[in-house]
Structure 1
Amino acid sequence: MTVTLTFHPLNNADSTRIDLKDGRKLLVDYADMRNPNDAADPCIDLPTALRNDLRAKARDYFDVVLFTHLDADHTMGAGDFFHFERWTSYQGNGRIKMKELWVPAAALTEEGCEGDAKIIRQEARHRFIQGKGIRVFSRPGRLRKFCEDNGIRLEGRLHLITDAGKLVPGFDDLNAAGGVEIFIHNPLAWRLNDREVEERNEDAVVFQAVFREGMTDTKVLFASDVNADTLSHIVQTSKRHKNEDRLRWHVFKIPHHCSYKSLNCNDKGVDKTTPIEDVRWLCEEQAEPRGIMVSTSEINPGKGSERDKNVRPPHRQAAAYYEDVAAEVDGQFEVTMHHSPRRNPKPCQVSITTAGASFVATAALPSDYVAATPMRAG
């Protein structure tokens, strides 16, 4: 089997399916953003797309479902789609099971959650208390208090916790059948301990996945929705521990739907965002030749358009920077919604083989979009 990364067109939202060569399936985030009453909605029918893929493999579960954080653009509709062990009312009726639920520590300790975020939080708490079917990333002081409040010992749950700077158990051997390593960069527990409350974006899971095909290792960086300051902390921490190789990338799922704040929190720029130094190093010096950058976002706004005035991403200034980075390494900058025809939304994919990574647009492009010549990375 070929390793594939499937990016679903969901406007400014995330859901990426990872298919490993040993047959395991991972889902990174789930956000059903489509309006079922709008036939022209360009967002994919995510629950149908995922169910069809699972049905083709005669299964009703994902091996892993990772919620990088609990914002709606990463959790929307999860309460209607997944089987939750905590409640019988959230089971059956074709719901999709999660063999393992992965969450940042903040997903357990956060208060005031509502809707899908609350359902996921309660499921995570239930599994953590039960001691099975979950992996938690980072262990800040508040997690110890959570354990004390629920009559369990943190030391008895350490096998369920992976700190930043570590490989995930079961995803830590490039020579095993799955041929994958997943290395966690964020959340950083020491940063969590410095704050009184969680910050969902900055406490989100950031990781590097390495896939081995034959003699070729392909590195993929998933940056969730963190901002430039958090990326700077990740870079500095990696350098301090001599883990710079864990930040190299052939494929970069860029952060926060092409927001300028993931490059520079304070300065959008007029026509192009200038990143802070650590982020520049990450984007430019850690890129492998013919690297592929993927923005899970709407089509970038034109200069002076109404959307260009919006505070929310995507920002054309950030896109201009990423496009320059991709051009410098003879690579590609791709936007998920560029590849989603309005009446038949389809995902796009990155295929990983012994030749490296290649971007595959699985749908016809909009008539006003001019694509670069397809490249391979690796």
Structure 2
Amino acid sequence: MQSLENRENAVANMHQVIFYPVGNGDTTQIVLSKGRRVLLDFCHRGKSEDDDTPEIDLKKRLREDLDAADRDYFDVVAFTHADLDHIQGSTEFFELQHAKKYQGDGRIKIRELWVPAAMLLEDVDRDSQTEEFALLRREARHRLLEGKDILVFSKPKALADWLEPLLVARGEAKSARDHLFIDAGTIVPGFSLLADGVEFFCHSPFIKHCDEGDIIRNSAALVFNVRLDADGELYDYLEVGDAEYCDLEEIVSITKFHKNDDRLAWDLFNIPHHCSYRALNDEKGERETTPTPLVKELLLLGKADAYIVSCSKPVPDNKAAYEEVQPPHIQARKAYERYLKEVGGRKFLVTMEEPNATKPEPIVFEVGKAGVTWTRSASIGAPGILVSRPPRAGHGRYVL
């Protein structure tokens, strides 16, 4: 029988990955075994504050999580891109450094902000932009110019052309902020397997995503391999934002070219764009989407006992679902489930379906030496039971 001390040590060595039910939107929190917290995207819908809606009151839940940990900050908040379903409510919840009016009053601090270069470059005058995006762009530019509390992913020429004259005017070298830019194909500084039990390997964006005309947010979004170390066993979480199939094809091709194939394997896969068929192919298919060859290759890199998570509304299998224009798409779900079964994976999970569609709760995975475990509840601290063992890390750098 396991002693109390051993059980406490096992829990202490657990990492957690928590997916929040916010409708067709994304918010994921990584809680590392030593306490550091990384939030990927933020989508709080005002209607969620009513008791009769299924979407979670994200602000309330995250505050409860932080209060329980005696914190008023996240170590990192990463916005994969600037679509509303990835940033909604963020400028009311977080403290922003660029103006005092967005500080204090119980706002949650961001110790380090991670953004794609596109978020600093997009034109806020476009009709499709929101005030929320304009504030986040201002915050990212402020932090970069001040040279603290931010990492920017890729450094396209357009961004250098904006930044460098401002640095010169401040009496600084043009290269004074180079350490704050991260290239695709590299490991993000500030975390390590040894110190934190985690590595963030940047798959995308590439420089060309902002240097070849109009910025397409989904293509210029953050994509990570998150590698978690649990007592010497390595597990891989693929965080993909809203990439489309052509973006995934490029990631697969370039990653293989640089011999970083192990960074494509996954124990946990947050699939793109709320289970849209566009992450698999440009044709939805009548009954099931057929992934392109390179996307199929990525799906087949799932490891035994792996999970797929769709951050989306429920994905029913009925006659009306096959005619849906907007995601989620049942045809895509069937494709994901087919390949998950082929690799010996565990389950395809939908954030707005667990434990039921009436009142869903966060989907919590715990990552420990024994494997990746779905706890089937929102409680933090349940034991893990599954096994999955990835290969050791590779390194690279590419800035296409």
**SS of equivalent to 1:231:** helix
SS of structure 2 residue aligned to 1:21: coil
Give the letter aligned to residue 134 of structure 2: K
Q: Secondary structure at the match of 2:112?
A: strand
Q: Tell me whether 203-212 or 31-40 shows the greater mean CA deviation.
A: 31-40
Q: In the TM superposition, what is the alpha-carbon distance from 1:52 to its structure 2 partner?
A: 0.4
Cα separation, partners in 2 of 1:58 and 1:183, compared to 1, 3 Å: same
Note if contact 1:10-1:43 (Cα within 8 Å) is conserved in structure 2. Answer: yes
Distance of aligned partners of 1:154 and 1:281 in 2 relative to their CA distance in 1, 3 Å threshold: farther
Shift of 1:310: 3.0
CA distance in structure 1 between the partners assigned to 2:48 and 2:349 by the alignment: 26
Calculate the TM-score normalised by the size of structure 2. Answer: 0.87
**2:242 counterpart of 1:228:** no
Q: Which amino acid aligns with 2:249?
A: S
1:164, CA displacement in angstroms?
A: 0.2
Q: Which of 193, 202, 227 matches 1:174?
A: 193
Equivalence for 2:289: 273
Match of 1:287 among 302, 327, 347: 302
Deviation at 1:340, TM superposition (A): 5.3
- For residue 121 of structure 2, what is the aligned residue in structure 1? 109
Rounded Cα–Cα distance in structure 2 between residues aligned with 1:151 and 1:212: 39
1:16-40 deviation line (CA, Å, top 9, x unaligned): 0100112100100000025056432
CA–CA separation in structure 2 for the residues paired with 1:222 and 1:37:
27
- Indicate how the Cα distance of structure 1 residues 192 and 354 shifts in structure 2: closer, same or farther if over 3 A, else same: same
TM-score using structure 1 length: 0.92
Match of 2:9 in 1: none
Partner residue, 2:334: 320
Q: CA contact under 8 A between 2:275 and 2:328: conserved in structure 1?
A: yes
Q: Deviations over 1:81-110 (max 9, x none)?
A: 000011111111110000000000011111
* Post-superposition offset of 1:341: 4.6
Instruction: Tell which deviates more after alignment, 38-47 or 270-279.
Output: 38-47
For 1:319-338, list aligned pairs within 5 A. 319-331=333-345, 332-338=347-353
- Give the whole-Å Cα distance in 2 for the aligned partners of 1:300 and 1:240: 36
Contact 1:34 1:41 in 2 (8 A): no
Give the letter for the 2:274 counterpart: H
What is the correspondence of 1:19-98 to structure 2 with a 5 Å cutoff? 19-36=31-48, 38-98=50-110
- Across the aligned residues of Structure 1 and Structure 2, the Cα RMSD in angstroms comes to 1.8
Q: State percent identity of aligned pairs.
A: 40
Measured in 2, the distance between the counterparts of 1:103 and 1:189 equals: 14
Name the counterpart of 1:371.
Answer: none
Give 1 or 2: higher strand fraction: 1
Q: Which amino acid aligns with 1:162?
A: I
Stretches of structure 1 lacking an aligned partner (at least 5 in a row): 365-373
Among 305, 318, 321, the residue aligned to 1:303: 318
Is contact 1:10–1:337 with CA below 8 Å preserved after alignment?
yes
Q: How many residues of Structure 1 are paired with residues of Structure 2 in the alignment? A: 363
User: What's the counterpart of residue 377 of structure 2?
Assistant: 362
Aligned residue identity for 1:302: D
The answer to whether the Cα contact below 8 Å between 1:42 and 1:341 also exists between their aligned partners in 2 is no
- Is residue 187 of structure 1 aligned with residue 224 of structure 2? no
Partners in 2 of 1:349 and 1:262 — Cα distance?
24
Return the alpha-carbon distance in structure 1 between the equivalents of residues 358 and 303 of structure 2: 36
Compare 318-327 and 343-352 and name the one that shifted more.
343-352
